[in-house]
Structures are given as structure tokens and as C-alpha cells.
């Protein structure tokens, strides 16, 4: 049996996440690797990679934007804040 992996990802995405707008109160900004890891927990197949997830997100109408944020990074016992930047997807996680 041959699975249509892209169709399966497109089926699972709306079950896990809803598209969001920048002004939605329940907005979560997530990176593509974060979304890929969450999908891989449900569909653990090496064929499903980040480019496939990106393709499915854009085809389903999910939006993304370039953003800058601070992230806490542990260095031994110290925790410091580092500035990060990159593309983040606007999503709402279904409960």
C-alpha cells in the first residue's frame, strides 16, 4: 500500500493547528522545525520533512512572517537571553 504522504500531512495539519492572523488573541508563533517535530510525533515517517510541511502549510493558507525574538539559553548554570530571528508561522493550537 502506497501512502500519499503529502495528503496525510494536509489531513493532519488542520486537526492540530488552525490558521491565525497577527491580531488573533490565541496566536502562537512557531518555527517550521517546531511544527515539523510536532507533526513527526503523529506521523513518524522520514519521508515527511520540513519542505513537505512548508508546502502543505502554504497550500492550506497558513501565514508566516519574519520576526525577531529573545530566547533563553543555558550556559552551564547561567541563563542568558539571545536575540533570534527567522520566519514564524501564525497558528492556533487546537485543544
Predicted local distance difference test score (pLDDT) of residue 73: 84
Q: Is the pLDDT of residue 3 over 80?
A: no
| Structure confidence by residue, pLDDT tens digits, 20-79 | 888 888 888 899 999 999 999 998 888 899 999 999 999 999 999 998 878 888 888 888
Q: Is the pLDDT of residue 83 over 90?
A: no
Domain regions of the chain by residue span: 5-93
Q: Is the pLDDT of residue 2 over 50?
A: no
Query: Which of residues 76 and 9 earns the better pLDDT score?
Result: 9
Torsion angle defined by CA atoms of residues 17, 18, 23 and 24, in that order, rounded to the nearest 10 degrees: -90
Strand segments (E) across the chain: 17-19, 28-30, 63-75, 78-93
Predicted local distance difference test score (pLDDT) of residue 1: 40
Q: Is the pLDDT of residue 94 over 90?
A: no
Amino acid at each position: 500500500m502506497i501512502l500519499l504522504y503529502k495528503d496525510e500531512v494536509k489531513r493532519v495539519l488542520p486537526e492540530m493547528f488552525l490558521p491565525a492572523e497577527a491580531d488573533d488573541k490565541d496566536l502562537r508563533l512557531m518555527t517550521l522545525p517546531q511544527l515539523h517535530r510536532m507533526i513527526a510525533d503523529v506521523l513518524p515517517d522520514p519521508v515527511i520533512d520540513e519542505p513537505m510541511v512548508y508546502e502543505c502549510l502554504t497550500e492550506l493558507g497558513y501565514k508566516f512572517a519574519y520576526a525577531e525574538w529573545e530566547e533563553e539559553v543555558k550556559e552551564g548554570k547561567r541563563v542568558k537571553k539571545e536575540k533570534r530571528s527567522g520566519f514564524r508561522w501564525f497558528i492556533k493550537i487546537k485543544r
